Structures are given as C-alpha cells and as structure tokens.
Structure 1
C-alpha cells in the first residue's frame, strides 16, 4: 500500500501520578506489575530504580503535589521510560564530590541506562531513558557496568588504577558504587538489605537462565 510504513510492534502504558513520596512507591509497584504482565520481568529491577529516581526528581525540583505522568513503552529489546511534568527547567547531570552521597542522583542512575535525555514539550518537559529488556541484556549489562566503573574512577575513587592495577581498581570502584547505591536507597526510604537481596535474586535468576 503506497505510503504505508511497517513499524515494529510496541506496548505502551501511561501512568499519571502526583509528585509525592507515597505516590512514587505506588508508581514503582504499578510499573513493575505492568512489566510483569508484558513478560518483561528481566527489566523490572532496573526500571524500578530509574522510575524512583526520575519521579523523585519531580518531587524535588518541580514541587511536591505537582502533576506528572510516567510512560512505559516496550519496543523490540528496549524498554523506554518517560516522565513528563509541567516545568520547563531542564535537569543537569553533574559530577558530585567524592564524599557527596546525595548529589550524584540522575547522573549515576542515568549511567546505568542504555541511553537517556530530556526534551521540552508543549506542556513542559519529558525526561526519558532506555534500558535493555531483550535476551542479550546480560552482555550489554556487563559492557554498561564496565563503562560505569571506568567513569566512576574519574571522581577520585580507586587509587589502584593509578598503580596500573586495572582489575583491582575496577573492583574497588564496584564496591564504592554499590555502597553509594545503598546510601541512595536508604535516603529514599528503601531497606538496603532488601535491595541487596533482590539484586542477588535477580542476578541468580538470569545466571540460571543463561
């Protein structure tokens, strides 16, 4: 048919929410249920982490009680997350100091995504990110982890790298990164032990399926 373009199938879900800590928790759970229904359970943990960060940034930088919307879109092997709000102020990803466990925020978590960005809309702005949800996600995660750990050394951690001990330096960075993520989770009301248990279960399930 002239002018007809075939596009790959996609699944889409729109979840309006109010910018408030209690709403962020409900939003995370609703998104997890939706992804499980789609059969994208492999992406649930990463999606919950990124949704929490994006929604919390609306609370902090747009204002508690502001209206916002989360859009989930699963296309091919990628899951796209978009958070829309009515503010035109664009977020910035800044590198925090070595001892600043609260300042990495969007920069740290966006580094865990395949890609991310922010665009102005007719009503305000949308912050989006994409994560891998396909069968090749394990290899992509390893590559992404290596890139994150490499960049993490740039903020001053892991002196072993400067002695030429690359693998040892990356191991130190991994410990520092995990510790900072646990600080981040505790600051947002999560139980760090629960986060570790869930991550371990997620890793073991993927390792058994490989």
Structure 2
C-alpha cells in the first residue's frame, strides 16, 4: 500500500532484495515530485541500507514500513519493523564485505537514530536537510558531530546518534542489487 499526501509517503513491504530496489525507485520518484532531486542519492542509499538490515537481521518476519516525511526544511526517512532489537554500529574490519551500513547512514545524514516502537518493534531513521536543494554540499556546511540522548517518556530508552561522529569507513557496496 502506498499513500502520499502532499508531504508524507508510506510504503509497506517485505524487505526482500527485489522489493528493496522497488522502494528505492519509489523514494527517488517521490523526492523528484517534491522537487528535492539533490537528496535522491543520499535518501536512496540510506533507505537501501536500512532495508538491507531488516532483510538480514529482523525477526520474526521481514515485514516493514518505510516512511518519508518532509517537515519545514528536513526530510526524515524511517523504517519500522517487528524486531525489538536496536541496531548497533560495528567497527567493520577494513577487508569485511559487510557491516558498514549504519556507518554509511551516519556519514551521509544530518542525524540518525533508533527507538523502540511499542512492545515488539523498532524504528530506525535518518534526516537530511531539505534546504540544501540549491545550496552548498552537505559535508562543507555541517561539520561531523555525535550525541547520545535518553528520554524517559517511554518505558525504554531512546537512542539517538547525530552526525558522523566516528572515522569515515572505507567505501562499501550494498549487498542488495536493484
């Protein structure tokens, strides 16, 4: 099911390799529709990495929801799944062929994080500044930063990591084609 009011788009899917490529194309088309062409590459990369994590790690099933939300000058891309385990950024071995997805999301986004979603699930998200559609490159405009916050409004702590606060990983390819 796809719904897209003026500044909101939701896609429900099974995180399978063939579907991940379709969602990447949906994200690209939606950002073109919103005239945010300069965000397409980063948003498509980020959603690919988050959906690949669902495909590789989520239990009990691969059902998930991708949501794009444009509020003021910020695009938020989130992936909700049914696995309550929060993701962890690993320090991947330089020769490893996987394990860099969240580090890439952190490096290319303005902020990112993960939070529990009810009793059995989580939401992993990242943001991109939408005002940069006609401005200078993101890396020059925003120096790397990182923060960890806890909130006590929920029964579980919410973890937020902002910016690429660790050394940049070596370039890696996604395990999902499409």
Q: TM-score scaled by structure 1?
A: 0.64
State how 1:56-75 maps to structure 2 within 5 Å: 56-62=52-58, 66-75=62-71
Q: Which has the higher helix share?
A: 1
The answer to whether the aligner puts 1:35 opposite 2:51 as a matched pair is no
Structure 1: gaps (5+ residues) = 1-9, 156-176, 191-210
Match of 2:138 in 1: 140
CA distance in 2, matches of 1:150, 1:106: 11
**1:24 and 1:64, CA in 2 relative to 1: closer, same or farther beyond 3 A?**
farther
Equivalent residue in structure 1 for 2:47, among 38, 48, 51: 51
- Give a deviation string over 1:118-163, Cα, whole Å, max 9, x none: 01112511001001221365243324587759823xx7xxxxxxxx
Residue 75 (structure 1) shift: 1.5
CA distance in 1, matches of 2:135, 2:67: 21
Match of 1:11 in 2: 7
Q: Contact (CA 8 Å) 1:24, 1:52: kept in 2 or not?
A: yes
Question: RMSD in angstroms over aligned alpha carbons?
Answer: 2.6
State how 1:106-145 maps to structure 2 within 5 Å: 106-122=102-118, 123-135=120-132, 137-144=135-142
Larger CA Rg, structure 1 vs 2: 1
Q: TM-score scaled by structure 2?
A: 0.75
Q: Which has the higher strand share?
A: 2
Equivalent residue in structure 1 for 2:95, among 95, 99, 104: 99
- Give a deviation string over 1:35-77, Cα, whole Å, max 9, x none: 1111111111110000100011000001596210001001122
**1:14 and 1:95, CA in 2 relative to 1: closer, same or farther beyond 3 A?**
same
Q: Contact (CA 8 Å) 1:19, 1:58: kept in 2 or not?
A: yes
CA distance in 1, matches of 2:44, 2:60: 20
State how 1:186-197 maps to structure 2 within 5 Å: 187-189=175-177
Paired residues, what number? 153
Structure 2: gaps (5+ residues) = 1-5, 146-163
